[in-house]
Amino acid sequence: MSLRLFKILWVIARHRLDTLIPMERLPLWLRGVMWCLPLRLIPVGKRSRAERLRLSLESLGPIFIKFGQMLSTRRDLLPDDISNELRRLQDQVPPFPGELAVARVERELEMSLEEAFARFDHAPLASASIAQVHAATLHTGEEVVVKIIRPGIDAVMRQDMALMYRAAKLMARVPEARRLRPVEVIRDYESTLFDELDLYKEAANTSQLKRNFKDSALLFVPTIYWPFTRRHVMVQERIRGVPVADLDTLIKQGVNLKKLAERGVELFFTQVFRDNFFHADMHPGNIFVNADNPEDPQYIAIDCGIVGSLTREDQDYLARNLLAFFHQDYYEVAALHIESGWVGENTRANEFAAAIRTVCEPILEKPLKDISFGQVLLGLFQTARRFNMEVQPQLVLLQKTLLNIEGLGRQLYPELDLWSTAKPYLEQWMKERAGIGGLWESLKRQAPELSHQLPELPVLAHQALSRMEQEHRQRHQQAHAITRLDEKFTQQKKRHHRLRVGIALVAVALAWEPLGEWALAQPWQVLAAAAAGLILLLWQ
């Protein structure tokens, strides 16, 4: 653990990543601390800041590479030089040797390479943060790609996650950061990240996504060859497409980029709201374009290791929140946040709505094409800090995916109007969900279960009535027993009272003469105190 932390610090120092920090935005005291750090003695070198950042992320491993991949899609948040350099993380990560790949394939498949494939390219076709792929041909003639998990990556990832947990626990001690629920967010990220190491899960996700978009003009998903798929090796159909980040080729082939960008938005909302099963790692390295028909382009998706889904309640709240934003109904947004439990139930909706309006109005007054959903989310998070809004771990993947889609769409077509593209789809979805058609579809889904339970309804009703009658008898018996106990307690209390009075009278009678003499000799204040004490004794 300490060695891994030392390596992270060393990489930061060696590549002088401190030079990426905008010093002028730091507080004066922190600026002074940064100037005094000894790492400033290390020369920056001839490499550009973007190249130094990319090399740092590459050397630190998959978790950091994935972070760089996500950043590479946000050209609206990063300078062009950094964004262009980080794009190389999407499919140009240094590969591991072909000999190791062959050894892992043969070990996983429990057969020789010649038995499994008619041809296998030892040089990788592409190399990513967690795995790399090799082109191959099956004996039946199908062209495929073989995805192989990097050897030894589990240990590095567990070390990084342990460090992230430590940092999250430290953050959780700070009241300002506690609402972000850092430990829960890291735990959720860990589960999705380690799912990528199990290629059985990725293969199953790919098959599910392919079924969801069967014969769809929006998306093509390659076929999985299950007989050659194992936990660390997966074989799937080889696709032929243009990388979505290769704008020059797309333009040269005459692809309708506006339609392609809008279809990306439609694809996202279809996955989230129609299927409740969405590809949550849609960075440009995983997305290709079928440009056979340039006016009707189709997306091709690979690498389904990370997928997300929402509960029915979260789906409804999310759709209603987005529509309320589209209509600039901030009170509805506030009410939905309170109703869903995303902010405290004691929050006053009108105050929360006013705070949201203050942040969003300056943004929404811009032309729709200039609005960044990422900026809206950031502004909302900053505003919600006042109202102790907690981060919802189940929505983190969704937010990441939406930001990726927005970044990708703006890269393809900078005039993309994300809001107006999404609004009709959401309105139609809500109409179908809440209307007669949605009710009928819900009844049809539940019909098999209802038909199974219908013959049992008389028996279930009889059992319910019997239980109610039995519970009524038990309550009656319990009430009768409590009444009897209360009567016994009252009688016992009266007996104790009579006993105390009797003892007091006997004592007074036995000691009357000396007591009388004593009383005559005492002042009236003492006699009054004694009388009060006797009264209290008899009262008890």
Q: What amino acid positions are annotated as catalytic residues?
A: 281
Q: At how many degrees (to 10) do helices 393-412 and 257-269 cross?
A: 170
Judging by DSSP bridges, how do beta strands 126-127 and 131-137 pair with one another? antiparallel
Q: Round to whole Å and give the CA distance between 141 and 194.
A: 33
Contact present, 17 and 56 (Cβ < 8 Å): yes
How far is Cα 265 from Cα 2, in angstroms, rounded to an integer? 43
Q: Would you give the end-to-end CA distance of the chain in angstroms?
A: 70
Q: Can you spell out the DSSP letters for 40-78?
A: GGS---SS-HHHHHHHHHHHH-HHHHHHHHHHHT-TTTS
Q: What is the DSSP string of 136-181?
A: EE-TTS-EEEEEEEPTTHHHHHHHHHHHHHHHHHHHHTSHHHHTT-
Instruction: Report how far residue 453's alpha carbon sits from residue 371's, in angstroms, rounded to the nearest whole number.
Output: 51
Between β-strands 298-301 and 219-220, what pairing exists: parallel, antiparallel or unpaired? parallel
CA 464 to chain centre: 40
348 Ramachandran zone, left/alpha/beta (phi>0; psi -120 to 50): beta
Q: Tokens standing for 323? A: 């529509």
